[in-house]
Structure 1
Amino acid sequence: MDGTLDHVMVRVSNLEDSLEWYESHLEYEEKDRHEGDGFTIVYLGPEEMHEEGALLELTHNEGTDELAVGDAWGHVAVRVPEGELEAYYEQLMDEGVEDYRDPESCGGRYAFVKDPDGHEIEIVQRDPDEGALWSLDHTMIRVEDADEALGFWTRKFEYDEVGRWESDSFANYFVEPRDAAEEAMSVELTYNYDGRSYETGDAWGHLCVRVDDLEEDWERLMERDAPEYRDPGSNDDMYAFTTDQDGHEIELLERDPDADSLFPF
């Protein structure tokens, strides 16, 4: 199983406002668009993307004016060069971006802003060789059992735990595909020790894992007792969905790099 993280999907209430926000503040460009029956999907990313870099998928459903973010969904993190966090943060503030947590409140190591729908976006510092400016670094989700969450990703998707940070009240675990490129996105699993439970909300969509062979890799997941949420057959053999132990949706997608469209439709 290749297992590269292909994209992360979030829902937005006003597509044009969201596109303007990401294009003007994070310098993203529209990579592809699909107009469906009552919904629109847009893939975004930096102009210069590595082949293993992850896309941001914005989904807008007609008639959706308000979305609940929920607390099971954490944030996406984007990259800026080492030593330039403060400068890029101040640039966003000058552009009128909503402040959430400034660098000083985060020990000078990272910062947070919010997009028009309240999706949290962390700004992290990385070596310039580890991905384009503003490229997706990781996606954070909250889990109720760290052992189960780590077991899910390491056993079912053959991911490796590549980092962890533990405090008195919570822990962060980072997982990514084996031999992933430095430019690839990882998943951050956040576990709070107090035993709380979480609400997903309808603003949080899914993670997508790019696979070599949809049918073969789906069968492998079924053999490993992954939940059968939406099998390939129910999606015209174009994609499939499973869920993790907390109900986070995970899409499986076989993408042809030479195809005219990023969508399998």
Structure 2
Amino acid sequence: MDGTLDHVMLRVSDLDDSLEWYETHLEYEEKDRYEGEDFTIVYLGPEEIHEEGALLELTHNEGTDDLEVGDAWGHVAVRVPEGELEEHYEQLMDEGVEDYRDPESCGGRYAFVKDPDGHEIEIVQRDPDEGALWSLDHTMIRVEDADEALGFWTRKFEYDEIGRWEADTFANYFVEPRDAAAEAMAVELTYNYDGRSYEMGDAWGHLCVRVDDLGENWEQLLTREAPDYRDPESNDDMYAFTKDQDGHEIELIERDPEADSLFPF
């Protein structure tokens, strides 16, 4: 299964405020927009995004001005060149971004800020050849059973475990598509050993996997016992959704590289 991570979707309470924040501080540009009857979807990303780089999808639903950021959703991580973490963090501080977790408090290895809705954004250091400045590096979700979570991604989507970090009380596992480009986004699975459970919250949307053949890959997922949440037929054969073992929604979408729009509508 060709399962490049296409985008990560977050819900926002004020679309204009969120767009201004991402365009000003992360230098993102609007790639495409869809206006529904009571919702708006905007795709964002760096100007020079790699063909396998992931987009950020911001969704605003009319009448939802008070979103709950649950703890099942962790963060998105964005890239800066190695050795430039402090410089870029200070730039964000000078621009008025909330001082959440500075590089010093994170051992000089990474830092965190928050967007207007409280979504956490990690800043990580990467080789400049591994993606544009501020490009999406990974999305972190919390899981209640590490073995089931790893099994879900490795068996159903044929992802590889590319790294792990184990501490006394928790572990992080990173998975990505087999033979993924260096610029591609990964998924970080965080497992806490204390047996806690998590709340999704309505500010967390979904991950999206780009596939070669929506119908064929959907049937393959069902054969591998992935949940039949929203099948292609119910979505006019434009996209589909399954869920992982913790209820995180995962969209499947088939892209037409010749299409005028990023949206299949």
Which bracket does the TM-score occupy, shorter chain normalised? over 0.9
Read off the aligned partner of 2:36 and give its amino acid letter: G
What residue in structure 2 maps to residue 37 of structure 1? Answer: 37
Q: Which amino acid aligns with 2:246?
A: D
Amino acid aligned to 1:40? T
Counterpart check, 1:16 vs 2:7? no
Q: Which residue of 2 aligns with 1:135?
A: 135
Amino acid corresponding to residue 198 of structure 1 in structure 2:
Y
Between the aligned partners of 1:248 and 1:35, the Cα distance in structure 2 is: 25
The one-letter amino acid paired with 1:5 is L
Normalised to the residue count of structure 1, the TM-score between the two structures is 1.00
Matches within 5 A, 1:1-265: 1-265=1-265
The list of structure 1 runs, each at least 4 consecutive aligned residues, that deviate by more than 3 angstroms after superposition, is: none
* SS of residue paired to 1:93: helix
Q: Deviations over 1:156-211 (max 9, x none)?
A: 00000000000000000000000000000000000000000000000000000000
Report deviation, 1:153.
0.0
Deviation at 1:99, TM superposition (A): 1.4
Amino acid at match of 1:10: L
Q: How many angstroms does 1:86 deviate by?
A: 0.2
SS across alignment from 1:98: coil
- Once the two structures are superposed, residues 22-67 of structure 1 have per-residue CA deviations (whole angstroms, 9 ceiling, x without a partner) of 0000000000000011000000000000000000000000011110
Q: Deviations over 1:84-112 (max 9, x none)?
A: 00000000000000111000000000000
How far the C-alpha of 1:130 sits from its partner, in A, is 0.2
Structure 2 runs not aligned, ≥5 long: none
**Partners of 1:258 and 1:162 in 2: how far apart?**
32
- Percent identity for Structure 1 against Structure 2: 89
Q: Which amino acid aligns with 1:155?
A: R
Question: Match of 2:133, SS?
Answer: coil
Deviations 1:212-264 (CA, angstroms, capped at 9, x unpaired): 00000000000000000000000000000000000000000001111100000
Aligned equivalents of 1:258, 1:82: Cα separation in 2: 35
Letter in 1 for 2:237: D
What code does the residue aligned with 1:150 have? L
**SS in structure 2 opposite 1:261?**
coil
**Structure 2 letter corresponding to 1:55:** L
Displacement of 1:139 in angstroms is: 0.1
Give the aligned residue type for 1:196.
R
SS in 1 for 2:255: coil
Give 2:204's aligned amino acid. Answer: W
For 2:69 and 2:99, how far apart are their aligned partners in 1? Answer: 17
Give TM-score, length-normalised by structure 2: 1.00
Q: Which structure 1 segments of 5+ residues have no match?
A: none
Q: Quick one: distance in 1 between partners of 2:191 and 2:100?
A: 22
Over residues 2-33 of structure 1, what are the superposed CA-to-partner deviations in whole Å (9 max), with x where a residue is unaligned?
10000000000000000000000000000000
Task: Give the counterpart letter for 1:165 in structure 2.
Answer: W
2:95 and 2:175 mapped to 1: Cα distance?
33
